Structure 1
Amino acid sequence: MRRTSALVIIAAVLSCSACSRSPRVSFYTLTPATPASAVQQTFSSAVAVGPVTIPELVNRPQLVVRLAPNRVAVLESHRWAEPLKNEMPRLLAKDLGGALGSSRVFAYDQVSGAAAQYRVLVDIVRLEAVPGDSVTVEASWVVRGPGAARREGRGEIREKVTGSDYDAVADAFSRALSALSAQVAKSVVDLR
């Protein structure tokens, strides 16, 4: 009797442990709009992008989505492959290089600030996703040029999420950041 009870308990424990698996985690990255090899040289000065600041709400590995005006969800099983504060300067630099027609646009951690004739500082004040609807990127920026030249700008970009999964959310963020880079490019060109 004791042996049968022990076997039943062991079987129950094994059965329960087989059911409790960790959820599958998906990782996402941002992608530039223009591949670096497709850029035609038209802007010859070096540009350093960064630092880029982001809201603390989204400064985490997990994707954060808005569920209601006063409620968000932090998605434990949907994560950024690398911290956004590291990925965004590189993405903005690639997209800005495409918008300027230059292969001399770098993230601030890839080039000495002294080597760049232009410096772009970006403050992302809103980085919001509503799954199945849209993403919003709101940012302000300062472009510092040769001497004391300086231009400031601000923009809000909304991109439609063209799917029901989180791949579509990451893609919409990539498109919104590309549109932001196009606006920043105008400020850089104005300083020339």
Structure 2
Amino acid sequence: MARRIAQMISIALMAGIAVGCSTAPSRFYSLTSTATADGTPPTSAAVMVGPVTIPASVDQPEFVVQVAPNQVKVDEFNRWVSPLNDSIAHAVAGDLVVLLGTPEVANSQLANFVPDYRVTIDVQRFESIQGQAAVVEAVWTVRKTVGGEVRSGRTVAREPVQGQGFDALAAAHSQAIARMSGDIAAAIRAEAEQKS
């Protein structure tokens, strides 16, 4: 009887250790295009988005969360589904489709696609403050492929986070990127109107 009790205690301890050693499942998030049409007439311009550069400190799959002015936490269980620079380019391209009213927007080289404009983006800040805000600060350029005229600008977007979860943080970053996309779309329109 005592031996049976000892075996049961041993099994219970091993089960407890196994449960304690298991890891939490990773969760994956993406940036999405969230821009809405503003009623301006569509443009016929073809646009290529990229390359996009991002700070080395956030160039990793894991969320990098600001926890104090000089301290961050890398959350290994909450990750971006694809490289952040690719996700930003994809989200901006999707936003520009809506804002410019044209399907002629790409974020990777396609056969037989000759863009009128090339957009490059240098993200200088990409901060995630859980439960508070998503901050995107970027310098971008719009270059006309024929003639080489360049318009450049800076976007600083701070979007409030609607909740404590990482899904809310990803949504706030998508909104911040949509604000940057709006600035880029305005520059493309201004350039197109100047040439017409």
Partner of 1:129 in structure 2? 128
Contact 1:41 1:102 in 2 (8 A): no
Deviates more, 1:10-19 or 1:47-56: 10-19
1:52 aligned residue: 52
- Residues 124 and 137 of structure 2 are in contact (CA less than 8 Å); yes or no, is this contact kept in structure 1? yes
TM-score (normalised: structure 2): 0.86
Shift of 1:123: 0.4
Q: Using the TM superposition, give the Cα deviation of residue 10 of structure 1 relative to its aligned residue in structure 2, in angstroms.
A: 5.9
Q: Residue 61 of structure 1 contacts residue 80 of structure 1 at CA under 8 Å; is this kept in 2?
A: yes
Amino acid at match of 2:165: D
Report if the CA contact (8 A) 2:135-2:159 is conserved: yes
Deviation of 1:114 (Å): 6.8
Q: Is the 8 A contact 1:46 1:116 kept in 2?
A: yes
Q: Which runs of 5+ in 2 are unaligned?
A: none
Alpha-carbon RMSD across the aligned residues, in angstroms, is 2.4
| Cα separation, 1, equivalents of 2:111 and 2:69 | 41
Aligned length: 189
Cross-structure match for 2:30? 29
Aligned position for 1:104? 104
The one-letter amino acid paired with 2:158 is: R
Report if aligned partners of 1:138, 1:157 keep a CA contact under 8 Å in 2: yes
Whole-angstrom CA distance in 2 between matches of 1:46 and 1:102: 8
Cα distance change of structure 1 residues 112 and 72 upon mapping to structure 2, 3 Å threshold: farther
Question: CA offset at residue 97 of structure 1?
Answer: 1.8
Q: % of aligned pairs identical?
A: 37
TM-score (norm 1): 0.88
Distance 2:5 2:131 in 1: 53
Answer yes or no: is the 8 Å Cα contact 1:41–1:103 preserved in 2.
no
Question: Structure 1: which 5+ runs fail to align?
Answer: none
